[in-house]
Chains A and B, each alone.
Chain A
């Protein structure tokens, strides 16, 4: 193990390390903690210039209550209605594509695989004008469906990379054994490969959920207004509505990312497995 395990050091070093940990964390998260501290202040503290002293009153429920009574829940609901279908769609498409690229040998295999990877890396801006046009033509501009369709297509690139590498690492003998048994090819996918892919499916779902929830660019390119915009785009109108109401803006920005944060803490293992792309063994 590197660096040297701290238990092998002297008592003094051990205590220093343990004291250093919370200090380092506090510094690392300081900007966020400042936001949280402001979010429970009453409005009057900002007019009197009481930024860092004790809050004159403690207004946790009042401030967050006002956020819940604003358009924020609507935006959050939109985010869910965009994110969940995207996760299902992208994972389904890429599980199939990953199976095809991971199990079968054919000429265009590597070429297609690299096409998916390359597509996943392109800048959004090169797609922006044509995708916006396409969405307008399909009559899906400013709808959640329009956003979902694009997200599914784009995320399929990254997901296919992940799925294919995962399937490639499975023992190929399983597929061969199934073939000897005379099982149909699609049944190999359904009964042999898919059950083994559960960790990959979980990892990708958590990861794509976070990616899509946090998307801002496509939200402002393809939607406008309360009925379709997700929370990342909605928070700017929320902030415009509560301009100069610093405590409420901060409370809003704490509420907006809660779902992916909860998801991360609940499914940390899968999340990290997904992030490291399976490339760090």
Chain B
């Protein structure tokens, strides 16, 4: 073959690999990650879609003990399952109220964005809840809400309120769990905004100040537009976090009282693997619906990222 096509390479023996090195190398580097990712992430997604069309107890392979039922699982879910409806509603509450972490995080970031002595330690201590696992956060808040010796009832008692059993009340329990989830999530958003505030252009701020802008007006028209990358990431991680909520529910109420705190992710687990029996096909159908909801958001995020990529080129 023509050696002259690659004059810059001073290789004496030009075998097939040497000639195609630039084309082949990326694939060699990608293979391990792609194998693992396909085996454990991509392929299982497809399998879940498949399993969701069976009635299956999961004991033998689905080809042996599964009974093909078509879309019956979905039909039952969407029309005849009150627990599914409750889960959907709770997911909606999670999505809506979890977003409070974004303004909350911004507020704390603005409060802490100063340079007094010791501020670094304050920032890390405010961020601290995010480092602890959700399981421990769940325990901490279960004890916080405890009707006999919880700090929460102690605090509202000071203002003359009667003790409230937050997690034992079907009307309140979900909000109680969301509040617990907001604690680390707000910390996360705070750190995103603190990093963002660091890179706000000081000249623009000074210029706006000379023009008489200050306070909320300054924040809205000058600062927030510059914080857009931080807001975007905060939005992504908060939405994903809201739809992934599982640990807190599992540890704080285990879906109760009377199934009032179930969300799709928890309900799916309950149906597939809990003492109520192994309804893997039905569980897979719940997972598919959760996946499709998530896909709407993922699609939007990817679209935004794709736009950024195009600009970068």
Interface residues, chain A, with chain B CB atoms under 8 Å away: 1-7, 14, 17-18, 21, 24-25, 28-32, 34-35, 38, 46, 51-52, 93-94, 96-97, 99-101, 103-104, 106, 109-110, 112, 114-119, 121-134, 149-150, 152-154, 156-157, 160, 179-180, 182, 184-186, 189, 210, 213-217, 220-221, 232, 235-236, 239, 246, 249-250, 253, 256-257, 260-261, 264-265, 268, 272, 275-277, 279-281
Are B230 and A2 closer than 8 Å at their CB atoms?
no
Chain A residues, CB < 8 A from B69: none
- What is the interface of chain A mostly: helix, strand, loop, or mixed? helix
Partner of B309 from the list A21, A100, A110 (CB cut-off 8 Å) is A110
Are A184 and B21 closer than 8 Å at their CB atoms?
yes
Given contacts A128-B273, A129-B283, 8 further A-B contacts (CB under 8 A): A1-B202, A31-B141, A104-B22, A126-B44, A129-B51, A149-B40, A264-B128, A280-B229
Residue of B nearest to A189 (CB): B29
Q: Which of B122-172 contact A (CB under 8 A)?
A: 122, 124-126, 128-129, 131-136, 139-141, 143-144, 149, 151, 154
Are B122 and A25 closer than 8 Å at their CB atoms?
yes
Q: How far is the CA of A52 from the CA of B305 in the complex (A)?
A: 51
Are A3 and B113 closer than 8 Å at their CB atoms?
yes
Closest CB-CB distance, B94 to chain A, in whole Å? 13
Q: A100-B30, A125-B268, A232-B133 are in contact. Are A2 and B197 (CB under 8 A)?
A: yes
B302 close to A (CB within 8 Å): yes
Partner of B44 from the list A115, A130, A186, A189 (CB cut-off 8 Å) is A130
Q: A121-B301, A130-B48, A131-B40 are in contact. Are A2 and B291 (CB under 8 A)?
A: no
Q: How far is the CA of A131 from the CA of B287 in the complex (A)?
A: 13
Are B298 and A154 closer than 8 Å at their CB atoms?
no
Are A3 and B110 closer than 8 Å at their CB atoms?
yes
Are A32 and B140 closer than 8 Å at their CB atoms?
yes
Q: A2-B113, A31-B141 are in contact. Are A257 and B192 (CB under 8 A)?
A: no
Partner of B9 from the list A25, A133, A182 (CB cut-off 8 Å) is A182
Q: How far is the CA of A103 from the CA of B22 in the complex (A)?
A: 10
Chain A residues, CB < 8 A from B243: 123
Residue of A nearest to B215 (CB): A3
Residue of B nearest to A272 (CB): B191
Are A214 and B134 closer than 8 Å at their CB atoms?
yes
B284 close to A (CB within 8 Å): yes
Q: How far is the CA of A127 from the CA of B290 in the complex (A)?
A: 12
Chain A residues, CB < 8 A from B286: 125
Are B246 and A25 closer than 8 Å at their CB atoms?
no
B16 close to A (CB within 8 Å): no
Chain A residues, CB < 8 A from B34: 97, 112
Partner of B47 from the list A3, A5, A130, A232 (CB cut-off 8 Å) is A130
Chain B residues, CB < 8 A from A2: 110, 113, 197, 200, 205, 218-219, 222-223
Are A124 and B246 closer than 8 Å at their CB atoms?
yes
Are B48 and A124 closer than 8 Å at their CB atoms?
no
Query: Would you mind naming 16 contact pairs between A and B with Cβ atoms under 8 Å apart?
Result: A6-B114, A21-B118, A25-B125, A31-B151, A106-B26, A118-B302, A122-B298, A124-B244, A128-B269, A129-B287, A133-B61, A153-B37, A153-B40, A186-B25, A239-B139, A279-B232
Chain B residues, CB < 8 A from A217: 246-247, 269
Chain A residues, CB < 8 A from B11: 182
Q: How far is the CA of A49 from the CA of B12 in the complex (A)?
A: 86
Q: A110-B309, A128-B287, A281-B199 are in contact. Are A34 and B40 (CB under 8 A)?
A: no
Are A214 and B133 closer than 8 Å at their CB atoms?
yes
A-contact bits for B263-297, CB 8 A (1 contact / 0 none): 01100110011000000100110111011001001
Are B33 and A129 closer than 8 Å at their CB atoms?
no
Chain B residues, CB < 8 A from A29: 125, 128-129
Closest CB-CB distance, A198 to chain B, in whole Å? 19
B251 close to A (CB within 8 Å): yes
B97 close to A (CB within 8 Å): no
Are A253 and B140 closer than 8 Å at their CB atoms?
yes
Chain B residues, CB < 8 A from A112: 30, 34
Are A18 and B191 closer than 8 Å at their CB atoms?
no
Chain B residues, CB < 8 A from A28: 125-126
Closest CB-CB distance, A44 to chain B, in whole Å? 14
